[in-house]
Amino acid sequence: MLKGYKPCHQLKILSNEHLSDVSFVLKTLRGETGNKRCKTAIPARKLILSISSPVFLKMFHGEMEESSDSIELPDCEHDGLLEMLRYIYTDQANLTSDNVIQVLYLANKYVLNTLAEKCMEYLVNNLETLDAFFILKTAKMYGQKDLEEKCWEVIDNNTEEVLKSKEFTTIERSLLK
């Protein structure tokens, strides 16, 4: 977090392309049917990113320094990246059921351990019956035993409802065993 700056100033820095020295370019779907591809750029500051993440430090100041000021992130969603950046700039993230998995993915990718912990805490506290198998898969992927146990508890207590969920039809055989 930027010490000495009020959150409103930090957000102004985050969203201001004139104060940025790098942009993250994302492919997004737009249009009424969501089928038109376009690119969205989110500006940022290399210094702030580098202070917050060892991955960004290596990316911008390491041996394999990124030479472009425009970095494409094909594995990233707009809302997830924006919340990760909000956290880096303000030490706050607005986690929702729609963005928490993407934010967790980015927190792990860029080694933002406290943000990953906040995501896990959110998932534990907001686990819903119909999401239990989806969240269980995520918990196993990231080795989160507490979240995994919580998922199994929800599955055990709501077996009939969970078995009717869309996620149950897509779980891997190994998870089912």
pLDDT, tens digit (0-9, with 9 covering 90-100), for 128-148: 888 898 899 889 888 889 899
Phi, psi of 26 (to 5 degrees): -120, 145
pLDDT, tens digit (0-9, with 9 covering 90-100), for 86-103: 999 999 999 999 999 999
Please give the average per-residue pLDDT across 111-130, as a whole number.
93
- Find, among 68, 70, 115, the residue nearest to 89 by Cα: 115
Check: CB of residue 171 under 8 Å from CB of residue 162: no
Residues in the chain: 177
Q: Please report which confidence band the pLDDT of residue 174 belongs to, taking 50, 70 and 90 as the band edges.
A: confident
Q: Please report which confidence band the pLDDT of residue 120 belongs to, taking 50, 70 and 90 as the band edges.
A: very high
- Quote the pLDDT of residue 30: 57
Residue 83 has pLDDT above 90, yes or no: yes
pLDDT, tens digit (0-9, with 9 covering 90-100), for 20-59: 899 999 987 555 555 556 788 899 999 999 999 999 999 9
- Using alpha carbons, list the distances in angstroms from residue 74 to 28, 53, 66, 137, 173: 10, 20, 16, 22, 29
pLDDT, tens digit (0-9, with 9 covering 90-100), for 5-17: 444 444 556 666 7
- Quote the pLDDT of residue 62: 86
- Find, among 77, 73, 79, 76, the residue nearest to 93 by Cα: 79
Residue 68 has pLDDT above 90, yes or no: no
